[in-house]
Amino acid sequence: MNTQSTTTNCNPVIVPDGYILLTKGPNTPKNNAGTSNPIEIQFDNNRSKRPLPPLVEADYTIVNNGNGVNTITINVSAIVFINVESKDCIEENPILVYWNNNYASPMFYIAYNAAEMRSNSFYAYEVSFEIHHGATVVNPAIPEITTFLVDEDPITSKGTKTTVQPST
């Protein structure tokens, strides 16, 4: 397993063997437009320890390489909501993205590691990544993707299924 550095307070994110690390996300919450205030959502009551499902958008482009192989790029942008008490751990050990290396049915895992706790306040983090795939067919099938938010303790959100649209 691959790990990132750690301290005594925050544990590293672990990428399971057999999965491919795509990229890391930002280490700070998104800010409200024109301010330095993080975007925060609040519920009236505490939520369970299970991570909230990510909000995901995906599109694709196809480039003809002229050699009979098309390169398909799937671009994914996700907003994940992580409890505000985890901010210091997220800054220390970045959000990581890994996938199951299966183009026909891609599953992406946006992973972080922080103490499990019930909370009613969450910061929004934006995570973007892409995968590339070569296809020899003229009109390749573009898969539906499933994206999970994973707290490495391990608790996983429900998957968010997203239909990948052509880029505009």
DSSP code for 60: E
Domain limits, the chain: 2-166
Distance CA(113)–CA(131), nearest Å, equals 24
- Among 151, 20, 155, CA closest to 98: 20
What are the percentages of helix, strand and coil residues in the chain, rounded to 5? 5, 50, 45
pLDDT value of position 20? 78
Alpha helices in the chain (DSSP H): 87-92
* Residue 25, pLDDT score: 61
Supply the pTM of this predicted model.
Answer: 0.81
Q: What distance in Å separates the CA atoms of residue 122 and residue 126, rounded to the nearest whole number?
A: 13
Per-residue pLDDT of the chain (168 residues; tens, 9 = 90+): 444 433 446 777 777 776 877 766 667 888 888 888 899 999 999 988 888 889 999 999 888 877 777 888 899 999 999 999 988 888 888 888 888 888 888 899 888 888 778 899 999 999 999 988 877 676 677 889 999 888 876 667 778 889 888 887
pLDDT score, position 40: 92
DSSP for 30-60, please give it: PBPTTSSPBPEEEEEEEE-SSPPPPEEEEEE
